[in-house]
Amino acid sequence: MAQLLPEHANFEDRLATNALIRRLLKDDMLISIHDGEEWMLKKSKNRKEILETMSQTGEDTVRARTADGEHVADFYLIYHNGSEKEPMCTISDHSYNDYANSVWDELEAKFNKMFGY
């Protein structure tokens, strides 16, 4: 029931986190989750496990690594960050590189279309 995950997130936060994780996994990334205090999950490809780990605090850093362990990008998420009808507010920052920018642009276009912006 990934649609109900992350557990402590509102609807728009869930849209953003699910879309981000799906997009990263589509690119065969290993995903780590830092909850603002410690790394709660390291180098996972299990979508359900990743989403269950998220939103336990008010923020998460999602780290994407290639299969050989190269750090590609970080995405900083803040939950309940004014994201009502604006899922991209959840992803409040990301690494500035071609990969992270392309992920951001793709998700932003998806949600703009979904919400009619």
- Provide the pLDDT for residue 51: 97
Radius of gyration for the chain, computed over Cα atoms and rounded to the nearest angstrom: 13
Find all residues with CB under 8 Å of 106, minimum gap 6, and list them.
23
Exposure pattern of 75-91 as b/e (b: 16+ CB <10 Å)? bbbbbebebeeebbbbb
Give 1's pLDDT tier (boundaries 50, 70, 90): very low
Give 102's pLDDT tier (boundaries 50, 70, 90): very high
Residue 109 in tokens? 């276009």
Please state the domain extents for the chain: 2-105
Mean residue pLDDT of the chain comes to 94
- Provide the pLDDT for residue 3: 65
- Provide the pLDDT for residue 116: 82
Q: What is the pTM of this model?
A: 0.94
Reported as a single tens digit per residue, the pLDDT across 16-57 is 999 999 999 999 999 999 999 999 999 999 999 999 999 999
Q: DSSP strand E in 3-66: where? A: 30-34, 39-44, 59-65
Share of residues in the chain with pLDDT > 90 (%): 85
